[in-house]
Structure 1
């Protein structure tokens, strides 16, 4: 039995299979989808588990380089907007139209995690990242300038490498 970390077998496996730039779509309970092999349904009842709890667990095991939320979330669901920003302060935040989540984001997601989040605009697309310093250390060169800001954010928020 695992001592800590994500206990859900399918979610743990999904995170292990994520590559750089792959998308893990984490949704609220009402997100419409086909239940195929990509879906990891964690929803138990309204609000359980909530979005932020699931994201905190994912943060412990996945490098998230950036995330996308629905454009209307900042104004219409500040709890989700602020909660995601709090969990991933070192990731680049951006928005996408709601239609992106139901079309390109849905089709492009490697996995989809359904939470019990009982709220509108409670969907977030997590873009898998890399541990910058360690990733580039095997090249014999410095971290490229285009990656410096990303690395500084990792360090600032305590995610400097593989532990």
Structure 2
């Protein structure tokens, strides 16, 4: 049995397969899942698990060199936006429509139960050396 890090077997497997510049999306419960992109659905009730809970746990085991968020987040979800500033990686603001288009390139979408507007991000994999 795994002792440390991500214990969810699907998430651990995805993280192990990520290479430099590969992307993954962490989504609220309303983001459309593009056809053909695998989805790991962690939601179990409205609001649970939360977006930031999953984001910061994932970042303990994942090197993100860049983060994409919807520019609408700043006006419509300031609480999550302020949490995004703690990520420690540069983030790029794009329109929500652009974020949905970019999510089509993700290796996986991790769906949370988050039920607040624009609580989505795309993490681009960095390297650890």
TM-score (normalised: structure 2): 0.92
1:106 corresponding residue in structure 2: 103
User: RMSD across aligned C-alpha pairs, in angstroms?
Assistant: 1.4
Instruction: After TM superposition, give the deviation of residue 81 of structure 1 in Å.
Output: 1.0
Quick one: higher RCO (CA 8 Å, sep 6+), 1 or 2?
Answer: 2
Q: Distance in 2 between matches of 1:65 and 1:34?
A: 23
**Unaligned runs of at least 5 residues, structure 1:** 136-163
- Name whichever structure is richer in helix by fraction: 1
Secondary structure of residue in 1 paired with 2:85: helix
Select between 76-85 and 114-123 the one with higher mean Cα deviation.
76-85
Matched, 1:8 2:8: yes
Q: What is the CA-CA distance between 1:36 and the residue it aligns to?
A: 5.1
Larger-gyration structure (1/2):
1
Q: What is the aligned partner in structure 1 of residue 76 from structure 2?
A: 76
Distance change >3 Å, CA 37–CA 75, structure 1 → 2: closer
The answer to whether 1:122 aligns with 2:122 is no
Q: Show structure 2 runs of 5+ residues with no match.
A: none
Partner of 2:32: 32
Give the superposition deviation at 1:39.
0.7
- Partners in 2 of 1:129 and 1:85 — Cα distance? 18
Query: Aligned-pair distance for 1:84?
Result: 2.0
TM-score by length of 1: 0.74
**Number of paired residues?**
129
